[in-house]
Each structure stands twice: as C-alpha cells, then as structure tokens.
Structure 1
C-alpha cells in the first residue's frame, strides 16, 4: 500500500490506515474516501503523508514520480539532459530501495526569518550596493593578497609561491591534502608545498590557493536560512565536476575547480544581506517548480550569478574566474563561453544527483549551444560521474572537516 505525500493526494483516494495527529488523536479512519476539504484539513493538522489503498509502486515508479518534478524546467529532448535524467532516476530508485524517504514537509521560512532585516527592499538598492558593503566589511587572510599579487606577476617562481603559502599553515595543509587526493592521482606522496608547486604548476596552485582562501570569508550567513555544510558540499561537488569536464574539453582544470568552488558566492552574499527576500525567493522557487536563479530574478530583480561576478571582480580574482562565476547561468553572454559553460554543466549535474539525497532545488539545465560547443560527448557523462564519485568523497573530507567552511 503506497504512502502518498499530502501534496500529492487527490479526491477519491481511500485511506488504508487510520490517521493520527502527533498527540495520538484520531483524525481519519481507515477506509475514509478523501475529498479536497479533508485533504486540506489534514494538511493544516500537520500531516505530511498518509497510506492509501492500492498497490505500492515499484522503487523505479516511485523514483520517476518523485524525481521527474525536479526536471520540469529542462529540455529532456537534449541528449545531455536525457542521460542525466536517467542517471538521477537510477540513483533515486536505488536510494528508495534502501529506505530513502523524500522530504515531505515544506520549510517554514517565515517563522525562521522574522527577526532578520534586509539592507534594502527591491528597487531601492542594487547588486553593486550589496557588493560594496560586503567588500568594505569583509576581512581576508593576508596571504590572499600576497598570492593575488604573485599571480599578477608572470615571473613568480615556485620558491616564491611556496614561501607565501607556507606563511598560512592551515592553507598549506589543505593544499597538500588536495594535491595528494584522488583528484590528482600522483604516484608518490607530495610532502612539501614547493614540490606541489613543481608538480601542479605556479599559476594552477596560485589559483587553488586563492580559491581556498576566499571560502573562509563567509562565516556569518544566517543559519536559519542555509546549512553551510550542505552549501559547501554542493560547491565542492561542482568544483570536482567542473575540473573533470574541463579536462575533457581541453580547459584548465584547476581554474575550473576554483570556479566551481566559488560559483555560488553571490548566493551567500544575498542570504547575508537580504535574508527576508532570500526566503521569499526560496519559497517562490519551490511553489512554482522553478530553478533558484529564475526565482531570484523574479523576486529580487537580479540573481546570485551577477552578484558573485561583481564580488569576484572586487576581490581582484582573475578575469576568467570572475566571468565563469558571473555567467554560469548564461554562458553564451560573454566572449569566452567555455569556462562558464563547464560550470553550468557541473552545477546542473550535481543538482540532479542530489535529488537522490533529498536535494530540494530544481535542476537548472544547460544552454544547449554552450554544451555542444564544448565538444564533450554526452555519453562521457557516465564515466565522468563514476570518476566524480571517487574524487568527491576525498575533496569533501578536505574542505568540510572541523576547521573547514562547512563547520
């Protein structure tokens, strides 16, 4: 007998089991034929799901019913999205067979954020205002600026960069863990920053160091609105996927890893400065089955990609990184669509895979022209995701430990 979420009930369904409220009071008896008033009433009583008469669907049928709603915004006629959709269904069905129960209760955002205040209302401020305030107040590790200066000098040597990184023991340890992880797959242990620079490259390791330093800035985002560990898990996953896809497309992997790691920094800034509007955008997205970026445009008048790109420019990140962040939802809008197209694909893939783990965001999809331009066969997605599964766990253990951003 199937268990049906309250939002999926239809008049005419019959209860297979009695329904009790949290205190054990009887709300409806087994055999009750539901009408719309009863369904609405059960919802107001806080009932998330009920057991109805009929045969339970198979795990794959249940997975299709649940997961397909996350793909309403995308074009499943495009081969990339079709392959990804089937992979998401397969993983969701496997998770359900192992006991995964999809989230049923909507988050009560209104109750969480009533004590928070936005710095301005819609049409009273701009993305530039948000970024200007953040840059004035944020505090970067000193090593960030020194590495930034070194990155601007083509003649920077491995010894110079190693010396700068070693001034921050936490950064040095994290970079060593990263280059010794399955992401790089070196045959022997890399036991010093100078050797890491020699193996990975001055520009590549400089970019990694910038990205790792930048993620330490956002530590005071309202916890009522976002679980930071979940946020950084998404970003690390996108970074790993962007590196894999970028290498296949002949683009610089380390730069794309950092672009994926930082692609949603604008979202953190919006959550921090406009918590009430952020909650409204989240509610709007879920009620209307929209990707988060589309809801931001409707509710705020701008989106996190624009804010993130502006912030990256203010931080003096390399131009190609700032563009990848700014255009990761509109890759064809710039002069170099390759990097943002890779980040867009990585974001779409990870969001689709998260459906099987209770992810609540709609899959944003890819720009078909941008994906085709990368020259990556959609069949590469399957081995890419297999490789991702191996590398993702190692990457998250490095970035999401007790001292990391997801603490």
Structure 2
C-alpha cells in the first residue's frame, strides 16, 4: 500500500506516487477541499494538498482513503454491517479530529486516523464470516462477541498491514472504549479517541451504559474545564457537518 512508505519520502516523490492512482488523487483533493479543513484557497492538485496540509497530514489522509478497501464483504447482510462499521468509523474519526482541534494539544490529523482505526478489529470477524456465509451464526450473534475480540484482532491486523504505525496508534485498539483507562499525566491521542467514542454514543441506545464524562481520566486532563455541555454540543454540531462531507467523498 502506498501509504506505508510515503511518510519517509520527499514531497516530490510522494506527489508522484499518489498521482499514479487517479481515484486516490481525486479523493485526496476532494477531502482537502471539504469542510474537514478550512483552506483559504481552492486546492486543485496533489501539489496543493501537500503544500497546504503538509506531508504528514497528506500521508494520514492517504491512509484513511486506502483503509476503505478493507471494509468489503460479498454477503449482503455482512456487507450492510461492514458499511455501517465504515460510517461509524468515519463518525468517530471526525469527532476525534474536531476534539483535537478544539483542545489544541493533539495533532488533529493523527486523531483523524486514530479515530478511523478504533474499530478496525471488527473487519476480520466480518470477513471471516463472509467466507462461511450461511454456516456461521446470525449477525446479531456475531456482534455479541465483538467486544471480546475487537482489540486483540485489531492489533494483529494493523501489525500485519505493514504501515509502521506508532505505539500510540496501535494502543487505540486496546483502549478506545476503556473509559477508565489512564494513559499518563498528559492528554494523549488515546484520550482524544476515548472522548470521541464516548461522544459518539450520546443519544444512542448505549447512552444509559456510559459513565458520567467528568468521571473518566481522559476528561480530567482537559485544561480549564474545557469539555462543558455547551462545548460537547458544539463538537457534535461541527462533527456532523464534517462527517457528511467526508462520507460524501469516502462512503
């Protein structure tokens, strides 16, 4: 995969690699022009993307776009579940991006990628079931085992892809829904995804199972009581605009 190597290359080579894939280049330019970012001028080329967003952000976006290839099944029911997983992952991704922007302590593009990968451990389960469609339990029963295998399977998957992900990104699999997880004294990438995941459940059937937000370690690391109810509503409002734009490009 292209994204596994572009972090270590000069910008000119990165641009040349991306341009060999017309669809990838088009989606990259569309994302760079979307409400996810606030570019002062229209981005028309891969050169513009790298110039405006930087090499690291470009590499993360390429990874996000390419990850879409993993969310595929042949069975109709399983493909519907995979599409729901992809859309939910995009939602958590955008929430992570907006939260990181708002708190200003974590790189927002790293948060975008981390949020997208937070449930990637579900993919192998659905794809395994796809190989034995009609022989394995119904999707509702498969979903019951997800909480028990999502983290270790996700870690194995990411290590097998050859992306060279950092330890912070790999730990997302283990702790994104571990509300009581303590990552250390300073706000971390894992904390951002934990907060994003918590926000993603607001208003859902899982709301009653959630802890009070001011009781989790990730919240305590936000400076000056940043995450007030009004702040949370603003984050969700901003994310809703951005998630629609991202889904329009990547769904």
TM-score band by shorter chain is 0.7 to 0.9
Matched, 1:247 2:101: yes
Match of 2:123 among 268, 271, 284: 268
What are the residue-to-residue correspondences of 1:345-360 with 2, within 5 Å? 345-353=195-203, 355=204
SS of the residue aligned with 1:303? helix
- Alpha-carbon spacing, 1:221–1:345, altered in 2? closer, same or farther (3 Å): farther
Match of 2:31 among 178, 202, 213: 178
Separation in 2, partners of 1:174, 1:215: 12
> How much has 1:221 moved relative to structure 2?
6.0
Q: How far does the alpha carbon of each residue in 1:27-82 deviate from its partner, in whole angstroms, 9 at most, with x for none?
A: xxxxxxxxxxxxxxxxxxxxxxxxxxxxxxxxxxxxxxxxxxxxxxxxxxxxxxxx
Matched, 1:365 2:216: no
Separation in 1, partners of 2:12, 2:49: 11
Aligned twin of 1:259: 114
Aligned twin of 1:200: 53
What are the residue-to-residue correspondences of 1:66-77 with 2, within 5 Å? none
Is the CA contact (8 Å cut-off) linking 2:121 and 2:157 kept in structure 1? yes
Alignment length (residue pairs): 232
Is the CA contact (8 Å cut-off) linking 1:183 and 1:391 kept in structure 2? yes
Is the CA contact (8 Å cut-off) linking 1:328 and 1:344 kept in structure 2? yes
- Alpha-carbon spacing, 1:246–1:307, altered in 2? closer, same or farther (3 Å): same
Aligned twin of 2:192: 342
Matched, 1:188 2:41: yes
Is the CA contact (8 Å cut-off) linking 1:310 and 1:326 kept in structure 2? no
- Alpha-carbon spacing, 1:241–1:182, altered in 2? closer, same or farther (3 Å): same
TM-score normalised according to structure 2 size? 0.81
Aligned twin of 1:235: 89
Q: Going by fraction, where is helix more abundant, 1 or 2?
A: 2
> How much has 1:189 moved relative to structure 2?
0.5
Is the CA contact (8 Å cut-off) linking 1:158 and 1:197 kept in structure 2? yes
Matched, 1:324 2:139: no
> How much has 1:373 moved relative to structure 2?
1.6
Aligned twin of 2:233: 382
Q: How far does the alpha carbon of each residue in 1:310-340 deviate from its partner, in whole angstroms, 9 at most, with x for none?
A: 2112223321322223321237365687212
Matched, 1:306 2:167: no
What are the residue-to-residue correspondences of 1:33-44 with 2, within 5 Å? none
Is the CA contact (8 Å cut-off) linking 2:195 and 2:218 kept in structure 1? no
- Alpha-carbon spacing, 1:248–1:235, altered in 2? closer, same or farther (3 Å): same
Separation in 1, partners of 2:158, 2:138: 22
> How much has 1:365 moved relative to structure 2?
3.4
Unaligned segments of structure 2, at least 5 residues: 130-135
Separation in 1, partners of 2:118, 2:221: 21
- Alpha-carbon spacing, 1:350–1:226, altered in 2? closer, same or farther (3 Å): farther
Q: How far does the alpha carbon of each residue in 1:280-327 deviate from its partner, in whole angstroms, 9 at most, with x for none?
A: 253x5xxxxxxxxxx645xxxx33123212211222332132222332
> How much has 1:150 moved relative to structure 2?
2.7
Is the CA contact (8 Å cut-off) linking 1:220 and 1:272 kept in structure 2? yes
Separation in 1, partners of 2:243, 2:41: 20
Is the CA contact (8 Å cut-off) linking 2:72 and 2:79 kept in structure 1? no
Q: How far does the alpha carbon of each residue in 1:230-259 deviate from its partner, in whole angstroms, 9 at most, with x for none?
A: 222211111111000112232111111112
TM-score normalised according to structure 1 size? 0.52
Aligned twin of 1:149: 5
